[in-house]
Amino acid sequence: MIALHHFVFAQQGEWTWVSGSNMANDIENFGTQGVPSTLNHPSALYEACEWTDTSGMFWLYGGWLNANLWKYNPSTNEWTWVNGPGSSVIPPSYGTQGVADPANTPGSRGYCAAAFTDKNNNLWLFGGLDNFYSAHNDLWKYDILTNEWTWMKGTNSAFDPGSYGVQGVPATTNVPASRSECAASWVDVSGNFWLFGGWTGSGTLNDLWRYNPATNEWTWMKGSSSTGASGVYGTKGVANATNCPGARACYTKWNDGNDNLYLFGGSELLNGLLYNDVWKYNISTNEWVWISGTNQSNSAANATSLCTQDVNFYPSGKWESRACWVDPCKKFWFFGGTSLNDISGVQNDLWKFDPVTLDWTWASGSLIVLQAGSFGTQGVSSATNHPPSTMGSNGWTDKQGNLWLFGGATFPDGWNTMWRFVPDTSCSGSGCGLSNNQQVNFTASDTDICEKFCINFFDSSSNNPASWQWFFPGGDPSSSTDQNPANICYQTPGVFDVTLIATDAGGISDTFQLNNYITVYSNPFAPTISKTGNILTSSPANSYQWQLNSLDIPGATNQSYTILQSGLYTVVIGDENGCNAQASIDALVGISEIEENSLVNIFPNPSSGNFIVEWLNVQIVGEASIDVVNTLGQKVFSSQQSPALWTSVDRKKEIDLRNLASGVYFIEIKSQNFFLKKKIIITKYP
């Protein structure tokens, strides 16, 4: 079992500074590569590339031309330096396209490369700027298990014009043009990657691309192959095949999980045009629809007060508002960015958008630019805490629906602070509540478990629901009507949703679903145990615990263990996810062939087949077995020896092996406290 330890207590609607520095431009603390620690942290980073893997870990690469890969565990507040040189500026090392290699690396990469996580938990990166500030169209895959990068697609040269092919037709020769500032990226329910717009170095794009990782093919789906294309808004709320957002570098994007892709605002960088429009793209119809905001550039924000939900509210035009989230209620959030055409307009405002009602809510922060941060005490939530104004920050959502914010810049300053925000369910629709203000919620005794493990669920809905209907896909049982279901067992690995439908006494029901809430890891294969003399050795694993007769041996946590007495020995191994497997061996305390000459004598050796076994100074307990095996391990002789021999004057036993052919054999003598294996040779004289 893997326990979740929440290291901070946070009230709803409050920010908590949880990691990193409260001082600008802090340097990194790498620690040891591959080893997590609460002391580790990246340097101040701007426009890094971020992912969330299927187990809920946060990943970070590059930023400000950095070349290091980091992993953050939100449950333990630990950073791990996973990959990279530890230095900032290095060129890409491509290797052979399609071939993974430990030496491969995208190199120093920044300025909003696109990021995707595939269904096999691999992390993908597209484009961005290298250490020479050159844009690329290379596509990379990082395998978490092997810790290796693979150059999958695109060129290994800068400012490639791309090959668009025929719109709507996939081809192995298709590839988007080189670009940076292309954070608008999505993964659909089929596992395809989507990419919109970006900056080529000479202008902005509005092309929409789809990549199929199974076929390694790009498809140009929508928009223009030229820079600077104007937007076609059509009628607000009405989809049309001719609608299309204008060319822009777009940073804020959302996915509702139903194959609808959303983007907000962005900038037409060449002319300094900022947008605050919200667009929705329907994959099945291949149509864009403008659903919120204005169709004018450089619009100011329209909001009168915090925590007020209104369809007529909207943020200002924004760019570099990369920190964006989708909460468990499928509400969309974004933070900060800059509302002016230069870096003087950086803000720390937090906004929520409801894609169903089309309401905007200004949820936190200020609409005034260049706000200093209020950090408070690290690990302590407070209503007065808030991040500084930043642009180019990174965002992740944890399994509990909390919003995490890292880094970014308030030029000339950069930050490496990690923040956590708990959405306020009383802040005008931030939660997924029942009718009549009844709120549905639940927790689990654990959310990261090993296969064949059972957990409990606890209803935490308010206003006294009268009945409950739970659904546990992947669980056994897969549903329950208990208020607090116990012993829900997950037999197979995977990532699973949990749904609760709560009904009040008046019959009013509502549903709360947490997507990807339960992660079930595979158990490792059972270890193998080898024995050399009195030393037992397990096959390699992350952790070990040796047991004697099913009881832990204190301090026996190494790969090998030297036994001190005979008995049933078990090694319990653990993998990197904390999942266990075990194996056992019935081991006797033995004496090596060289050492036991003074204790047991076997003579003559070689012989024609008659051997004498003589016990000299051995204290043997109980009955002993005497076996002879050939070099193939086949038993060719067996005898049981009575304990009476141990007290006799003549402590000798004759073994007649004259029926065996000439050759090498091994005699094995076993008792409750003794084990001997010795080579004997049979020679037939003429």
Lowest mean pLDDT among 5-14, 221-230, 350-359, 513-522: 5-14
The separation between the first and the last C-alpha atoms of the chain, rounded to the nearest angstrom, is 68
DSSP string spanning 53-73? -TTS-EEEE--TT---EEEEE
- As assigned by CATH, the class of the 595-682 domain is mainly beta
Buried b / exposed e across 303-319, counting CB within 10 Å, b at 16+?
Answer: beebbebbeebbbbbbb
Cβ(338)–Cβ(315) below 8 Å? no
Reading the block at residue 394, the tokens are: 């990174």
- Phi then psi for residue 219, to 5 deg, are -135, 125
| Per-residue pLDDT reduced to its tens digit, 153-165 | 999 999 999 999 9
The Cα 323–Cα 336 span in angstroms is: 8
Whether the predicted pLDDT of 141 surpasses 90:
yes
Compute the C-alpha angle 540/541/545, nearest 5°. Answer: 110
DSSP string spanning 157-207? SSS---B--STT--BTT-BPPPBBS---EEE-TTS-EEEEEEE-SS-EEEE
The Cα 615–Cα 594 span in angstroms is: 15
The Cα 167–Cα 88 span in angstroms is: 39
Place of tokens 């629906």: 401
Residue 112 pLDDT level (bands cut at 50, 70, 90)? confident
| Per-residue pLDDT reduced to its tens digit, 241-288 | 999 999 999 999 999 888 899 999 999 988 899 999 999 999 999 999
Residue 346, Ramachandran bin (φ over 0: left; ψ between -120 and 50: alpha; else beta)? beta
- Phi then psi for residue 352, to 5 deg, are -125, 135
Cβ(170)–Cβ(219) below 8 Å? yes
Q: How many CA atoms lie within 13 A of 398 on its CB side?
A: 20
CA 169 vs. chain centroid, Å, equals 33
The Cα 449–Cα 140 span in angstroms is: 30
- The segment(s) of the chain belonging to CATH 2.60.40.10 are 436-442+457-521
Whether the predicted pLDDT of 412 surpasses 50:
yes
Cβ(616)–Cβ(598) below 8 Å? yes
Fill in the DSSP letter of residue 318.
B
The Cα 485–Cα 387 span in angstroms is: 39
The Cα 396–Cα 52 span in angstroms is: 7
User: CA 336, 339, 343, 349: dihedral to nearest 10 degrees?
Assistant: -20
pLDDT of residue 280: 98
pLDDT of residue 686: 47
Of all residues in the chain, the percent with pLDDT exceeding 70 is 91
Whether domain 436-442+457-521 has CATH 2.60.40.10: yes
Nearest to 572 by CA among 557, 587, 562, 589: 557
Mean pLDDT computed over 163-187: 96
Whether the predicted pLDDT of 592 surpasses 50:
no
pTM > 0.75: no
| Per-residue pLDDT reduced to its tens digit, 287-299 | 999 999 999 999 9
Whether the predicted pLDDT of 428 surpasses 50:
no
| Per-residue pLDDT reduced to its tens digit, 27-86 | 999 999 999 999 999 999 999 999 998 888 999 999 987 999 999 999 889 999 999 998
Q: Please give the mean pLDDT across all residues of the chain.
A: 88
Of 601 and 686, the structure prediction assigns the larger pLDDT to 601
| Per-residue pLDDT reduced to its tens digit, 459-508 | 988 767 889 999 999 999 999 999 999 999 999 999 999 999 888 777 76
pLDDT of residue 421: 94
pLDDT of residue 259: 86
Nearest to 410 by CA among 364, 350, 343, 322: 343
DSSP string spanning 84-123? S-SSS----B--STT--BTT-B--S-BS--EEEE-TTS-E
CB 4: neighbour CB atoms within 10 A? 17
DSSP string spanning 2-32? B------B--TT-EEEEES-SSTTPPPB--S
Nearest to 562 by CA among 585, 589, 592, 526: 589
